């Protein structure tokens, strides 16, 4: 059975992640970046998604540190959340799946973070993009948002602890 990891975000972590999420939404509006994959277009809902994502990234950042967090880059489009190959997918409910988009890089690692018990974030597991991009995971459960959906109990997800030696090895190769 895969071990999950729980990370508690303190007030300062939450406040910082919230600033990051709000800054991302402001940048998206200023750069006229459209919402993708059927995401909400109204400012308040879009900002909430950015904030949720930044909080999950903060939890993973705290667990994997030292690691580079690309939190306030001018243009985050096409950029991994951590380093240049780790993306965090934060979900609001514990039964929500890890979602990998069709055009997401297959060589990146994707981490599922569960935010349902905020300020405690459960790092459910991770997999490589090519592992998530299997036809059996392709779905469009709400219409107009087809993607690969890997359920949180799927065996393809490995413990986030298993990602640390890979991360350290890549950092040492630099």
Q: Provide the strand spans (E) within 2-158.
A: 5-8, 86-91, 98-100, 109-117, 120-128, 138-139, 147-150
Sign of CA dihedral 113, 119, 64, 39: positive
Number of domains present in the structure of the chain:
1
What is the model's pLDDT at position 37? 59
Structure tokens at 107: 């060589």
Q: Are the beta carbons of 120 and 7 closer than 8 angstroms?
A: yes
Quote the CA–CA distance of 53 and 113 in Å, as a whole number.
9
Quote the CA–CA distance of 125 and 110 in Å, as a whole number.
8
Beta bridge partners of residue 126, listed in sequence order: 111, 158
Helix segments in 65-128, DSSP class H: none
Question: What tens digit of pLDDT does each residue of 21-71 get?
Answer: 999 888 877 766 665 555 556 678 889 999 999 999 999 999 999 999 998
Beta bridge partners of residue 125, listed in sequence order: 112
DSSP secondary structure code for residue 164 in this structure: H
With 0.75 as the threshold, say if the pTM is over it.
yes
**Which residue range forms the structural domain that includes residue 156?**
5-173
Quote the CA–CA distance of 28 and 75 in Å, as a whole number.
9
pLDDT in tens, the chain (174 residues): 688 999 999 999 999 999 999 998 888 777 666 655 555 566 788 899 999 999 999 999 999 999 999 987 656 667 999 999 999 999 999 999 999 999 999 999 999 999 999 999 999 999 999 999 999 999 998 888 899 999 999 999 999 999 999 999 999 986
From the list 24, 122, 146, the residue with the least C-alpha distance to 79 is: 24
Residue with tokens 């040492």: 172
């Amino acid at each position: 059975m895969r071990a999950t990891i729980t990370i508690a975000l303190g007030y300062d972590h939450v406040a910082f992640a919230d600033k990051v999420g709000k800054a991302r939404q402001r940048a998206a509006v200023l750069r006229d970046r459209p919402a993708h994959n059927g995401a909400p277009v109204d400012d308040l809902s879009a900002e909430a998604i950015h904030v949720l994502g930044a909080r999950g990234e903060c939890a993973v950042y705290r667990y994997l540190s030292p690691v580079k967090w690309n939190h306030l880059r001018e243009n985050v489009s096409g950029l991994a959340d951590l380093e240049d190959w780790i993306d965090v997918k934060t979900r609001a409910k514990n039964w929500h799946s890890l979602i990998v988009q069709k055009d997401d890089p297959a060589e990146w690692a994707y981490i599922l973070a569960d935010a349902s018990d905020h300020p405690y974030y459960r790092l459910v597991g991770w997999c490589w993009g090519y592992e998530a991009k299997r036809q059996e995971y392709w779905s469009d459960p709400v219409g107009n948002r087809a993607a690969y959906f890997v359920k949180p109990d799927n065996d393809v997800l490995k413990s986030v602890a298993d990602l640390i030696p890979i991360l350290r090895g890549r950092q040492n190769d630099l």
